Amino acid sequence: MSRRRTAGTLFQSKEDTNFKEALKLYESKQYKKALKLVDTNLKKKSHPQSLALKGLLLYHIHAANGKNEDPDNLEPKSYFQKALKEDASNPVINHIIAIFYRALPDYTEAAKYYKLALDNGSENRNIWKDLAVSEIQLRKYKNALAARLQVLNYFQGYRANWTGLAITHHLNKNYDQAEKVLTGFEELAEGKLSDPEFVEHSECLLYKNKIIFESGDVKKALKNLKEIEKTVFDHLSVNEYRATYQTALGDHKAASITYRKLLQRNPDKTDYYYLLEASLGIEQSNITKRLKLYNKLEKFYPKSDPPKVIPLMFLKADSKEFEDKLKNYLISKLQRGVPSVFKTLKFLYKNPAKVQVIEKLVLEFLDDLAQKSKLDVDPTITVWTLYLLSQHYMFLGDISKAEEYIDKAMTHSPTLVELILFKANIAKHKGQLVEAADIVNSARLLDLQDRFINCKATKYYLRADNLEKAIEIASLFTKNDDAVNGLKDLHLMQANWYLIEESEAYFRLFKKAKNALINHLNKIDSENIEFTPELSREVKDEIDEVQKLKGLTLKRFNSVVKNYKEFENDQLDFHGYCPRKGTPRAYISMLNWADGLFNQPLFMRAVKGMSEVYLSINDDIVNREASIIYKYSEIIASSASKKSKNKNKNKTNKRREQEASKIIAYDHDLDVFGEQFVNTDEPIEKLNELFSLTTDKTSVFYLKLSFLIYIIQGKFILAFQSLKNAKDILVDPSQAILPYYLMKLVESLKNNTDPKLEAIKSMVVKSISSVFKDFNADESFDVILTKFFKLSEADGLENHYFYLKSTKLAGKYDEAVATKILELINKGKIDRDLNLDELVILKDYVEANGSEDCYWI
C-alpha cells in the first residue's frame, strides 16, 4: 500500500498521522487496533481515506467470524461509497478499494480500482504489478500486457519482470515480441549469471524455444535447440522437442534416431514406440514389418511391457503369433502374480476374437495349475488367475460367472483385499448397494490403517445412502479436534470426492422423502382421512424433513462449487510466483488447466445436481397453488395455535442444534442447513449464475439445461437454438429425447400470451418445422417418437433407457419397455456406455414403476 503522499506535506494533520499508523497496523494484520485509530479519525471531522480503510478493516474482521458469507452484509461497501462520495479521485482510496475487491475476490472490480488509483496519480508503482495479476486472472491479456510493460519499465533489474512480460506477450500470441523480450534479458545477463540462477536460465531458454516453435518457425526452433542444448538441464524436453520438430520438418530419419534415444532413456513409455514407428514410415497395415521391429525392440528392452503388448494390438486374433505372444505375456505376468494384468490387457477387449483367445489361455493355465502337485505351485498364482477370470467375465457382462470365480478366489484367499473389493464392485453393479458397502467394510476391517480402503468404504456407504456410517468411517482419518466428526475437516481439506458423493446421497434422500410425502398427502386427500393434530404434527415433521434434505443437498453441492472457485482463485499467487521462480512452461500449462476447471466432470456433477433442485424450486414457485405440499403446509400453519407453535419451535430448535453439530460444514457457519439456498425466490437467477461458470458450451447437458432455462425465461429463439445444436451432437439413441423437448417448446409457445412476442413465436414455429422435418406438433407423441427413434428387441439397455425416459418425460410410461429393462439388468447385460450411477438409478426408477422423477433432465 502506498504510504507516499501525492504532494509533499510538511505539516501533517493528526488525522493523517493516525491514518498512517492504522495502515501499518493493517499490514501487520492488527485489524481491531487499526479500526480504533480510524474510528478516532472519523469521530470529529470527515477523513475520506479513513472511511475507505474502515471498510477494508471491517471486511477482515468479519472474515474471522464468517460474517462475509452473508450476502446481505454490505457494511464494508457502504464505507467505500461514502469515501468515494467525498473524494472520488483520491488514489489512496481507490487503492484501498481495489485491495478489498481483490480479497473478496472480484477481480473485475479490483482491476477497475487499481486502474483508477493509477489514473488518479498514484505513484505506487507496485500497483502496476497487482493490476497485471488481476487482468491475467480475468484472462484479459491485452490489459495485462499494458500493465506488464509498465512494470518492466519501472523495474528493469529483475528477470521476473522480463519473463512476466514475455509470458504476457505469449498469451497475447505476440510470439516475436515474446522472443525479443526473452532474448533482451539473455543479452543483458550474458556472462553475469551466478550458479543458482542457471536452473531458471535453463527453463527460460526452453520456454523461448517453445515460443519460437509455436510461432511457426520450426527450422529456427530446431536451430535454437542446438544452440541452447549445452546450457539446458532438461535433456528429456530437449530430445522430445527435437523429435517433434524433426517430424514437423519431414526429416523422419533424424526423428527416428531421436526417438531411439528417447526410448533408451525410458523404454516403458508407450508413446515413443508409436512415434518411432511413424518416423520409420512403417505402414500400420504392414504387420510383418511392425512385428519385426517390435521383436527387435523386445530384445533391446526385455524388461519393458510396451514391446510385448503393442503387437497384441495389431496382430490378427487367429494368427499363431498373436496366441504365442499373448501366452508368453499372460503367463509370465500370472506366474509373477501381477494383480494388474487385466488392466493392461483391457484394450484388447474391443476385439471379441481376441477376448476368446484370452479366455482360452487363462482357463488352460488354470487347468495346468490344478494338475500340478500342490506344493509345486505358488498358491498366490492360482488366486490371481481366478481374480483375472472374474474380471474377465465381469467385463463381458457375465455376472454369474464373474461371481463364481471371485467366490472361488475368496475361498482360496479370504484375506486378500483386492478380491473383496472386486466382489463389492460386482454387488454394486447388481444394484445391491447396501450389501456392496458391507463387503467393502469387511475388507476395511482387515487393514484399518489403509487410507485407500477407508475411502472406498466411505464412498460405498454414501452410495448406499448410509450417511451416518460413511462419516463415522471417514472420520477415522480426519482431524476432528473438538468436532463430533470429520465433516468440517473434509470441507477444509477440500475433499471433493466425499462432498460430491454426500451431496448426491442427500439428493436421493430428498427425492425419496418428497415422493413419500406426496404419496402420503395424496392418500390423506383422496381417502378423506381426518386431519387430527397428531396427523398434522406427523405431516409437519415430514415436510420439515423434506425441506432439510433439500437444503443440505444444495448446501453440499455448493461446497463443491465453492472449492472449485477457490481452485480458480488459487492461481492468483502463481501469476507473480512463476515468473519469479522462472518456471514459465509449467505456468502456461497451469493456466490451461485452470481454463478447463469448470468443465471438469466432478464440477459438472455438482452443477447437474444443483440445477435439478433449482428447477424444482422454480416449479414449486410457479405451481404453488396446485401443489399438495403447499396446500397442507397452509392448513398446518393456520391450524396450529400460537402457543403450541412456540412449544414445538423450542422442541425442534433443540433437535436441530443437536443435528447441526453433526453436519456443520465450516467454522462460524451461519447456514448449517442450507436454508439460504432453499428459501430463494430467484432459483433461475441462482442457477444461471452457477451455469455461467461452465465454459464448454457444447455438451448435451449444457444444451439441455440452457434450453430449460430459456423456456422458463421465455427466450424462445435461444431455446430453439439449444435444441438445434443438441440435434447436431446427439447420436442415436439419445435423439429419443428430442421429441419431448420439442413438444415442450411448442407447448410453451402456445401458453405464452405476450403479444410482443408474436413475431418471434411464429418464427420459431417455422424454424422447428424446417430443422426438425420429422416433427409435426399435431401428431400424437407416439407417432413422433417412432419417427425419431426405432427401438428393436435386440437393442441394449441404453437404447431402452432413452426410449423409456422419453416416454416418461412426455407423461407416459411404457410398461413393456420397463419390463425389458429390468430383464436386461437382471441378466447382467450391462451396457458399457451407461455408467453405473445411471444404471442403479435406472433400476430404482423402473422398479418404482416410474413414480420417481427421472434423474436426468
Partner 1 sequence: MPFKIALDDLTPNNLGVIEKINSVCLPVQFDHQWYKESLEENQGHLVKYAFFNELPVAAIKARVITKKGHASPSFVYIDSIAVLEAYRGYGIGKKLLDWLVEESKTRFIHKIQCHGWKESVDWYVKQGFTNEGEVKGYYEKQGLTGDDANAALLSLEF
Which positions lie near partner 1, rule CB under 8 A? 337, 374-380, 382-383, 411-416, 442, 445-449
In the complex, the smallest distance separating the C-beta of residue 399 from partner 1, rounded to whole angstroms, is 24
Question: Shortest approach of partner 1 to residue 557 CB, angstroms?
Answer: 34
Identify which of residues 77 and 412 has a Cβ nearer to partner 1 in the complex: 412
Whose Cβ is closer to partner 1: residue 319's or residue 415's?
415
Q: Can you tell me the distance from the alpha carbon of 261 to that of 278, in angstroms, rounded to the nearest whole number?
A: 15
Cβ contact 255:263 at 8 Å: no
Q: How far is the CB of 744 from partner 1 (least distance, A)?
A: 54
Sign of CA dihedral 627, 628, 631, 632: negative
C-alpha cell recorded at residue 181: 523480450
Peptide bond just before 683 cis, omega within 30 deg = no
Q: How far is the CB of 556 from partner 1 (least distance, A)?
A: 30
- Shortest Cβ 386–partner 1 spacing (Å): 11
Would you say 63 or 381 has its CB closer to partner 1?
381
Extended strands (E) in 516-672: none
What amino acid occupies position 527?
A: E
Smaller CB separation from partner 1, 414 or 533: 414
> 146 vs 381, which CB is nearer to partner 1?
381
Q: Closer to partner 1 at the Cβ: 415 or 695?
A: 415
Whichever of 449 and 751 has its CB closer to partner 1, that residue is: 449
Q: Closer to partner 1 at the Cβ: 62 or 444?
A: 444
Nearest to 489 by CA among 506, 504, 501, 477: 477
Least distance in Å: CB of 53 to partner 1?
54
Of 94 and 441, nearer to partner 1 (C-beta) is: 441
Give the residue from 461, 457, 436, 455 showing the smallest Cα distance to 497.
455
Smallest distance, partner 1 to C-beta of residue 110, A? 50
- Find the shortest distance in angstroms from Cβ 472 to partner 1: 16
> Using CA atoms, how far apart are residues 199 and 239, in angstroms rounded to an integer?
18
**In angstroms, what is the minimal distance from the CB of 681 to partner 1?**
52
In terms of Cα–Cα distance, which of 12, 77, 18 is closest to 44?
18
Q: d(Cα 495, Cα 427) in Å, to the nearest integer?
A: 26
Q: Which is nearer to partner 1, 446 or 836 (CB)?
A: 446
* 229 secondary structure, DSSP code: T
| DSSP secondary structure letter of residue 196 | G
Rounded least distance, CB 416 to partner 1, Å: 6
Cell of 339: 494383480
Angle at 618 between CA 856 and CA 560, to 5 degrees: 60
- Closest alpha carbon to 781 in 809, 819, 817: 809
Q: Which triple of cell numbers denotes residue 548?
A: 432439510
In the bound state with partner 1, the residue whose beta carbon lies nearer, of 453 and 839, is 453
In the complex, least distance from residue 477 CB atom to partner 1, rounded to whole angstroms: 12
Nearer to partner 1, 313 or 445 (CB): 445
Taking alpha carbons only, the member of 430, 455, 428 closest to residue 444 is 455
- Could you tell me the smallest distance in angstroms from the CB atom of residue 343 to partner 1? 19
SS3 at position 22? helix
Query: Which amino acid type is present at position 108?
Result: T
How much of the chain is helix, strand and coil, in % rounded to 5? 75, 0, 25
The rounded distance, in Å, linking the Cα atoms of 95 and 102 is 11
Report how far apart, in Å, the C-alpha atoms of 848 and of each of 31, 507, 508, 542, 734 are. 58, 17, 14, 20, 23
Cβ-based nearer residue to partner 1, 302 or 379: 379
Q: Cα separation of 230 and 242, whole Å? A: 14
C-alpha cell, 660: 447441526
Nearer to partner 1, 473 or 500 (CB): 473
From the CB of 410, what's the least distance to partner 1, in Å?
10
Distances (CA, A) of 676 to 339, 610, 683: 49, 14, 11
Minimum CB–partner distance for residue 451 and partner 1 (Å):
12
Cell numbers found for residue 488: 468440517
CA distances in angstroms from 453 to 386, 409, 712, listed in the order given = 22, 19, 45
Written as nine digits, the cell of 607 is: 452443477
Residue 628 cell numbers, joined: 399438495
Rounded to the nearest whole angstrom, what is the least distance from the CB of residue 376 to partner 1 in the complex? 6
Residue 408 or 787 having the CB closest to partner 1:
408
How far is C-alpha 527 from the geometric centre of its chain's CA atoms?
A: 47
Three-class DSSP category at 753: coil
Rounded CA-CA distance 47/63 in Å is 25
CA distance 297 to 282: 15
Phi, psi at 518, each rounded to 5°: -60, -45
Asked whether the CA dihedral 211, 214, 217, 223 is positive or negative, the reply is positive
